[in-house]
């Protein structure tokens, strides 16, 4: 059984990814009143000790900080990867535990993607990129080769990052931004060319 922690919109996408992988044993964990999401049952309480051998979890929550907090509160849980069959993932790439890879994503040679990352629809991660855990690469974002993205960083919809750039942890790259220089931890970057407009206040 694969359990999804969360039953909102992000969970709906993950359910359909798992179903496209041919997985049928799926349930969601959430405190909402509904009893199903996309015909998948919702359980309102489930403690880790009740997991059976082979059961796995996916944190189906889009907020990067929340995914980190949930994973740290549940040591010893086995996390599944949800990878859409339409993805193009190099055999030399590495995808971490709990990571979700949505339809149309490309991950090229020797890229390393950490744990609990979201690679959203049609994003591109080129060769030798390193993406830290809990990061989110948004739809249609493009990372050229040899880019480092730090833990918890959000790369916005349609953003582009030129080769060799280092983006720090818990940074935010705005939608449509074009990043042509390194980005420090916690920075918020917007525009073309991308410029730092402020810093995130994040307790990581």
Catalytic residues: 127
Reading the block at residue 151, the tokens are 């833990």
> What does DSSP say about strands 148-149 and 160-161: parallel, antiparallel, or unpaired?
unpaired
CB–CB of 67/61 below 8 Å?
A: yes
CB–CB of 106/124 below 8 Å?
A: yes
SS3 113: strand
DSSP labels, 130-184:
EE-TT-EE-TT-EE-TT-EE-TT-EE-TT-EE-TT-EE-TT-EE-TT-EE-S-B-
């Amino acid at each position: 059984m694969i359990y999804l922690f969360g039953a909102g919109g992000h969970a709906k996408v993950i359910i359909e990814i798992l179903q496209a992988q041919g997985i049928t044993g799926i349930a969601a964990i959430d405190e909402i009143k509904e009893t199903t999401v996309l015909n998948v049952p919702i359980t309102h309480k489930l403690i880790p000790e009740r997991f059976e051998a082979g059961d796995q979890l996916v944190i189906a929550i889009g907020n990067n900080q929340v995914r980190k907090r949930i994973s740290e509160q549940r040591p010893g849980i086995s996390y599944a990867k949800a990878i859409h069959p339409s993805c193009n993932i190099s055999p030399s790439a590495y995808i971490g535990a709990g990571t979700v890879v949505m339809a149309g994503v490309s991950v090229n040679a020797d890229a390393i993607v950490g744990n609990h990352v979201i690679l959203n629809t049609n994003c591109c991660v080129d060769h030798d990129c390193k993406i830290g855990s809990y990061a989110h690469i948004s739809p249609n974002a493009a990372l050229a080769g040899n880019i480092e993205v730090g833990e918890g960083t959000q790369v916005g919809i349609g953003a582009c990052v030129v080769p060799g750039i280092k983006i720090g942890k818990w940074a935010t790259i705005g939608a449509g931004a074009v990043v042509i220089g390194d980005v420090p931890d916690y920075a918020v970057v917007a525009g073309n060319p991308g410029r730092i407009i402020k810093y995130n206040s994040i307790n990581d």
